Amino acid sequence: MRRTSRPHQNCHPERSEGSRRSRRRKSFRLLLTLLVAVTAGAAGCQSIPTDRQVSTFATATSMVAAVARDTLAASNAAVVTRKLRERAEIGGGVDDALFTPLVADDAYATRIEFLDALERYATALEELASAGRGKTMDKAVTKLAGALDAMGKHYESLTGKKEPAVRRGALKKLVTVIGGEVTDAQRRQGIRRAVAVQHTVLPALLPVLRDEVGPAGIFGIAHRNQAEGEKATLMSRYNTDHQQERLSKNPDVRLKRLNRIREAWDRAATVKTLYQRLQEAVEHVTIAEQALYDATTGAGNPEHLFEAVGRVADTARAVSRIRKQLKE
């Protein structure tokens, strides 16, 4: 009797199925690895700090600009206020010098306008970084373009140099995203372009501001001279009245005069510290701006941005506290 031959069958079907699943898993892992690599490469080419990093930098910069502007403005106006109060108390005529502020030339107006523009830029950048809707993004981009344009004009007035031509071209590219609703991709592209545009002028502008708002700058010297002069005048008058026995016999009246001298003494001691801290704050803004640009272009470590921004915020708060101590 002849046997019929049968085709060969796999005696272990479960092993074959396991092998197929293993091969599929390996293929999936390989595909996933390639996908991650491609995504990471694309992200590297389009490197940008997170919205939170940009927003934190912008908020800190806005704080420094506002504190610096308010310090210069309040100090400038307070000088006239104190001179008027003194003239009202001791009597005497009036002249132009009585109404002349701390810094009366164009330098004051130029610096105040620059700090205004810096604050507007930082505010608009923060709004763009946190914008979540098309219309909100469109408004933020429009505001940002206006602030960038103003900064270019201040570059010429503060440095005496013409605005870089490359900046004007970059600004036009930023403006092209305006018109209709701005998409999230355009918003992020707008942030990158804005940071790049500002980096063409801020590294030159901020050191000028840093030097001029420091203790040895025109504002620091003028304010310190005024504060020291006021203190010296009040002390000299008190001592003269004492020597000539013209002081009031009433202790409360004498104490009032002594307290006023004490306020002037405290103010003179605080002024130098104020401008030192203000100078430090602007220096930290300079460092943070470079860190933001590096992080945006992928040339630096984004983590450095958080550290730099933290120092900006700390010094800005310190300046604000010292400013309140002056009782201007």
| Confidence (pLDDT) at 6 | 46
Q: What is the mean pLDDT of residues 17-42?
A: 41
- Which residue is associated with the tokens 């000539």? 244
pLDDT tens, residue by residue, 157-186: 788 787 776 666 666 666 555 445 567 777
Give the residue ranges of DSSP H helices in 131-217.
134-159, 165-175, 184-198, 202-212
Q: What is the mean pLDDT of residues 176-201?
A: 75
How far is 212 from 219, CA to CA, in rounded Å? 7
| Confidence (pLDDT) at 99 | 79
Directed axis angle between helix 302-325 and helix 251-297, to 10°? 170
What is the pLDDT confidence band of residue 54, given thresholds at 50, 70 and 90? confident
CA dist 157 to 46, 191, 201, 307, Å?
34, 26, 12, 32
DSSP 8-state code for residue 96: G
Name the residue among 88, 292, 75, 92 with its Cα closest to residue 203: 292
CA dist 132 to 11, 21, 140, 185, Å?
62, 44, 11, 12
Residue 212 amino acid letter: E
8 Å CB contact between 319 and 277: yes
CB-count burial class (<10 Å; 0-12, 13-18, 19+) for 130: middle
Please give the mean pLDDT across all residues of the chain.
76
**Lowest mean pLDDT: which of 129-133, 180-184, 223-227, 290-294?**
180-184
Other Cβ atoms less than 10 A from the Cβ of 2: the count is 4
How far is 233 from 224, CA to CA, in rounded Å? 14
Other Cβ atoms less than 10 A from the Cβ of 313: the count is 19
What is the pLDDT confidence band of residue 8, given thresholds at 50, 70 and 90? very low
**What is the residue-wise DSSP string for 136-147?**
HHHHHHHHHHHH
Is 208 or 39 the better-scoring residue by pLDDT? 208
Q: What is the mean pLDDT of residues 257-278?
A: 90
Q: What is the mean pLDDT of residues 215-226?
A: 81
Number of Cα atoms under 13 Å in the Cβ half of residue 63: 22
| Confidence (pLDDT) at 238 | 93
Structure tokens at 80: 């006239």
**Lowest mean pLDDT: which of 59-73, 157-171, 242-256, 313-327?**
157-171
**What is the residue-wise DSSP string for 253-305?**
HHHHHHHHHHHHHHHHHHHHHHHHHHHHHHHHHHHHHHHHHHHHHTSS-HHHH
> Quick one: what percent of the chain has pLDDT higher than 70?
75
